[in-house]
A and B are shown apart, each in its own frame.
Chain A
Amino acid sequence: MTSLATLAAAQGNVPAATGITAYAWLLVALPLLGAAVLLFGGRVTDAWGPYFAVAMSWAAFVVGLLIWLVMLGRPGGERAADLHLFSWVPAGSFKVDAGMLVDQLSLAFVLLVTFVGSLIHVYSLGYMAHDPDKRRFFGYLNLFVAAMLLLVLANSYLLLYVGWEGVGLASYLLIGFWSQNPSYATAGNKAFIANRVGDFGLSVAIMIMFVTFGAVDFQSVDAGASHANGAAVTAMGLMLLLGACGKSAQFPLQSWLGDAMAGPTPVSALIHAATMVTAGVYLVVRSHAIFDASPGAQLAVVIVGAITLLFGAVVGCAKDDIKKALAASTMSQIGYMMLAAGLGPVGYAFAIFHLLTHGFFKAGMFLGAGSVMHGMNDQVDMRRFGGLSTVMKVTWVTFGLGWLAIIGFPGLSGYWSKDKIIESAFVGDGWHAWVFGLAAMIGAGITAFYMSRLFFMTFQGERRWTDDVHPHESPLTMTVPMVVLAVGSALLGVAIGPTGIIQSWLEPVVGTHPEHEHTVLPALAITLLTLLLVAAGIALAWMRYWRDAVPTMAPAGSLLTQAARHDLYQDEVNEGLLMRPGIHLTRSLVFADNRGVDGAVGGLAALVGGTSSRVRRLQNGFARSYALTMLAGVVVFLGALWVIQ
């Protein structure tokens, strides 16, 4: 009976939080306070509300920074701390306490979320300056930051679930922020519902954990995973993966992310690029003990990652809407992270590494896209851009750094993080290594093509502007965050990648990072081949979208182009398989419920279902019939009992 307790003890319990770490709850409480003040405060907060929200977000960053500094002063094995908050759900044998696990992994997210989040808060001051509903917007942003921090700081799967759906709610609210446009409201619904399908998986995973381990906190699950029944662990892994697919827009639950671009652009940058959509990767890495114990579940993660990275890359090549092209790219890049996370100890650190660098360069590019839209009357069609490099210099340069980072230009952040993932994918023997390695490598080439296409169509070539636009550079509140993120896009990778900092930082959480694993191709060959493909991608994009004129109307295109424009027919598949049958089922049930079930129940409803005269007749003889029925019932029942005895 005591196996779990002894197992946990053998692993060593995480010490209780002390000092500033004991105030980690402020990370969630501060932005939550901001959200509450803005959303419940009403119009009196209109004037100062947005600034208050910005302050709360930066305050959370400061708290995170202080905790980080304290953590740096300790040796690796003693950095994690457990912060017990209160007894949350003590129900029968199910007992879950609310608490926070402040370790290297959660703190990496805290710093990313609060830093990028705060920059985007500042950017929004400029971007949303003229929106009448500005206060509501900032309230939702604060709500998002609070929920995201709860997600990564929770010490149990159940509390993680609160943050998990909390960020989903914030995402839903912000996608549908301009709900006067019905298609935007639909996009919000689509996101929430696809996420709920994922949450089905997360729910079932937690249920399996409880019946297997008798607990759902990370420590108990980590300790027990390698000792539990193999089928149960695989089931847990697959269900967690389903949850991750919903949140991170991975195949087959990817369809909501493109539509989610209906939200204001700062939201796309923060939620649908840098942070929330990467939560699935966090979930897999956080559950590494489960995946390490189940090769089957790991393989599923890798397959999902590989499919999604190619899916997103192909779709990204055909989109003319700048935000949708970036969204497809996000999907694809998270596919890389997912693939890495599925590779096990060789990939965990790189999954998180790429997640961090991606958080900077993708957020930066989305903010750049927002800046372009700001100057172009909210135009999003890249066929109507072109030649913006001369009029929006800051946007051009910062976006350019993001572009070079994502395609893996040597020296910039994406080069260090993505190259490591490609290399890791080639680790091992047999078909796995070849298939996933080549998928990752080819994906890099396609990425170079579609991102260069995007960059050239927007900033280079001749001007294809509509007559009424007068593009101009954005105000400082917008450009300063873009500059900061661009610096990160350039330097973060080299700072923590080749120095080995990211591997050793995460080692106490995800286990020792194996060095010099055998790859089916030499590492140098992988790097060179990748660079070759990247160069080819850039060259092709240069010929078609810079050197040659870009038509303002999209040409018909090949069958593949048409399929990619339609997101490889993902919506058609979902509608055919789920939506239309669902509508039919609902309609026929409504019909049957009114006629069938209602009429069939003991003839009772049929008795009154007819005309009013029949009802009247019943009413008149009511007292007698009551007594009569009662008598008959008693007689029959007692008679039956008597017979049985």
Chain B
Amino acid sequence: MTSFPWLTVIGVVPLVGAAILAALPASVADRAKHIALGVSGVTLVLAVAGALQFRAGSGQQFQLVEKHQWIPQFGVSYALGVDGIALVMILMAVILTPVCILAAWNDVPEGGSREKNYFALLLVLETFMVGVFAATDVFLFYILFEAMLIPVYFLIGSYGGPRRQYAAMKFLLYSLAGGLIMLVAVIALYQYGPGGTDGFLVERLTGLKLGATPERLMFLGFFVAFAIKAPMWPVHTWLPDAATESSPATAVLLVGVLDKVGTFGMIRFCLQLFPEASKWATPVVIVLAVISVLYGALLAIGQTDMMRLIAYTSVSHFGFIVLGIFAMTTVGGAGSTLYMLNHGFSTAALFLIAAMLIARRGSKRIPDYGGWQKVTPALAGVFLFAGMASLALPGLGPFVSEFLVLVGTFQRYRAAAVIATFGIILAALYILLMYKRMMGGPKPELSAPVLDLSVREKLVVAPLIAAFLFLGFYPKPVLDVLNPAVATTLQKVGVHDPAPTLAADGSSK
């Protein structure tokens, strides 16, 4: 164990960066993005250094632990720590932030203080993203969960598209509604807990004897908030609006990282704090997850707006993640948590490459394209690459996680797994139809010459493609970190994997 407060430092560095940006005099405001990129780079280095201190399978649930009293009267502590799942989520957040900043280089063309604030908000968001995954105090988690909304609200509302106000408000209202229900459950949970000056710590609230009905109500309080955040059908409708109206970088961090707090919360809080209620709710959640898988995919097929299409694919993918979580098998759990990472990269790639096309063509509408394979062959190539990752082509990261989710689900819920497998056919449809409409066909007549991928854009895309290939062919290092955390979770729920039928009933014919 180390006494160095890794998690605090990783969280605070971007916040300091944001403060520097905010205080930047107008004369050097045009350096804001360079500073932001530098700060997020430093954060990434620190996070990698911190991650190297992590020992997978050490037997301890949380590592890199920090614990200080904060509001002892209410039992609130400043407590941070990570298990394998949280560590992977934090790494994803700090990898995606510099990628997004680089992609957002020209998002605010007018420059000046508006540009400076934009990058400052992205850094503030990074702080909250690190914090929310690192918090091991339920109340601290709740505060960060709600605080995340602030930078996102401004990022959408001030830097978005024509209907940004509407989208920002819709996003905020949905999130607040979920957050409030959760707050009630948080307070109730404290009432049932041991109390004391550290009564909000996760480990203090685990394994409580709550009684069936209160446990179920509290489970619902948390679950609804996380389902909205995730987002699951039928509370998904804020996502397409938010995704299409926000700037691409915001959309990536929103869909790729923030929404993972929902599925992360289901594992950390729903399953571990309310195991019996989780089992009670499982049939309904499985059904909702399967609906999300198919519904999101069908809706994606029907979209004409690229950004909305990508948002709906995420509804489908989140359906898979929730499915694997509530299958409650080691395979499904490993699949879901790995999926959370893969989806971060695949969605980022789709959003950011789509944005590169939009920047050239000036339209999000798919029918406004056609023949662009001939205009920008390299851009078309990486777009297809990202699409193949999204449809879970074997050999790329998302395949491994999607398949694990399906296998893990099949162990317990045959029908749900088979129905969800239809999602792989629909995924081929939404990606390939979009690609064909945009890239196929004769070369269009364009008034001005269009350049192919720039060096900056290549730098944005390269790490994402590397991640797809690495996680597709050698996901072991990540799975080794995730497996113990999943096992701990399932142990707390008290479930065991079903044994293979052949081994179970001997040589039955």
Contacts and interface: CB of A to CB of B under 8 A. Distances in A.
Contacts of A158: 403
A179 B373 contact: yes
B500 A605 contact: no
Interface string B367-402: 000010110011001000000100001110001100
Given A86-B474, A214-B503, A640-B217, A179 B177 contact: no
B353 interface: no
A196 B402 CA distance: 15
B428 interface: yes
B180 A633 contact: yes
B299 A162 contact: no
Nearest to B443: A180
Interface in B394-435: 394-395, 399-400, 403-404, 406-408, 410-411, 417-418, 421-422, 424-425, 428-429, 432-433
Contact of B486 (A92, A172, A227): A92
A3 interface: yes
A91 B507 contact: no
Contact of A199 (B173, B174, B181, B424): B424
A558 interface: no
Given A626-B176, A641-B214, A206 B170 contact: no
A204 B188 CA distance: 43
A27 B411 CA distance: 35
Contacts of A638: 184, 187-188, 191
A484 interface: no
B371 A180 contact: yes
B329 interface: yes
Given A169-B393, A608-B173, A629-B180, A203 B237 contact: no
Nearest to B469: A36
A93 B502 contact: no
A296 to B, nearest CB: 15
A192 interface: yes
B80 interface: no
Interface in B208-242: 211, 213-214, 217, 221, 233-238
Contacts of A211: 410-411, 498, 500-501
B499 A214 contact: yes
B100 to A, nearest CB: 23
Interface in A589-645: 589-590, 593, 597-598, 600-602, 604-605, 607-608, 612, 615, 618-619, 626, 629-630, 633-634, 636-638, 640-641, 644-645
Nearest to A622: B172
Interface stretch (B5-13, B32-40, B45-53, B330-338): B330-338
B436 A3 contact: no
Contacts of A189: 432-433, 436
Contacts of A443: none
B237 A185 contact: no
A299 interface: no
B325 interface: no
Nearest to B188: A641
B165 interface: yes
B488 interface: no
B407 A597 contact: no
B330 A93 contact: yes
A141 B471 CA distance: 25
A586 B301 contact: yes
A608 B167 CA distance: 9
A200 B424 contact: yes
B278 to A, nearest CB: 18
Nearest to A224: B502
A454 to B, nearest CB: 31
B425 A590 contact: no
Which residue, B234, B440, B507, has most C-beta atoms of chain A within 10 A? B440
A161 B211 CA distance: 47
A213 interface: yes
B508 interface: yes
A630 B183 contact: yes
Nearest to A215: B500
Contacts of A90: 476, 479-480, 483
Given A179-B441, A586-B302, A162 B406 contact: no
Contacts of A200: 421-422, 424-425
B393 A92 contact: no
Given A86-B474, A644-B214, A4 B503 contact: yes
Would you call the interface of chain A mostly helix, strand, loop, or mixed? helix
Contacts of A184: 440
Nearest to B425: A196
A589 B296 CA distance: 10
Interface in A165-213: 165-166, 169, 172, 176, 179-182, 184-186, 188-189, 192-193, 196-197, 199-200, 203-204, 206-208, 210-213
A140 to B, nearest CB: 11
A14 interface: no
A1 interface: yes
A91 B214 CA distance: 34
A35 B454 CA distance: 23
Interface residues of A, number: 89
B169 A89 contact: no
B483 A92 contact: yes
B501 A89 contact: no
A401 to B, nearest CB: 38
B188 A210 contact: no
B394 A164 contact: yes
Contact of B479 (A39, A91, A204, A600): A91
A486 B169 CA distance: 71
A23 interface: no
Contacts of B428: 192-193, 196
A228 interface: yes
A618 B169 contact: yes
Contact of A89 (B181, B330, B371, B475): B475
B194 interface: no
Nearest to B374: A180
B299 A589 contact: yes
A94 interface: yes
A586 B433 CA distance: 13
Nearest to B500: A214
Interface in B459-496: 473-476, 479-480, 482-483, 486-487
B476 A88 contact: yes
B92 to A, nearest CB: 18
A470 to B, nearest CB: 28
B439 interface: yes
B283 interface: no
Contacts of A636: 184
Contact of B508 (A172, A185, A229): A229
Contact of B424 (A179, A203, A612): A203
Given A4-B503, A91-B483, A224-B502, A633 B335 contact: no
Contact of A91 (B335, B440, B509): B335
Given A196-B428, A586-B302, A633-B183, A204 B500 contact: no
A92 B443 contact: no
A589 B176 contact: no
B231 to A, nearest CB: 11
16 contacts: A4-B503, A87-B476, A91-B331, A91-B483, A92-B334, A162-B399, A180-B373, A180-B443, A181-B442, A192-B428, A192-B432, A196-B424, A214-B499, A230-B509, A587-B302, A645-B214
Interface of B: 165-166, 169-170, 173-174, 176-177, 180-181, 183-185, 187-188, 191, 211, 213-214, 217, 221, 233-238, 295, 298-299, 301-303, 329-335, 338, 371, 373-374, 377-378, 381, 388, 393-395, 399-400, 403-404, 406-408, 410-411, 417-418, 421-422, 424-425, 428-429, 432-433, 436, 439-443, 473-476, 479-480, 482-483, 486-487, 497-504, 506-509
Given A92-B331, A213-B502, A229-B502, 7 more contacts: A3-B503, A185-B440, A192-B428, A204-B418, A207-B406, A615-B165, A633-B183
**8 residue pairs, one from A and one from B, having the closest CB atoms:** A92-B330, A185-B440, A214-B500, A91-B334, A590-B302, A637-B184, A207-B410, A586-B302
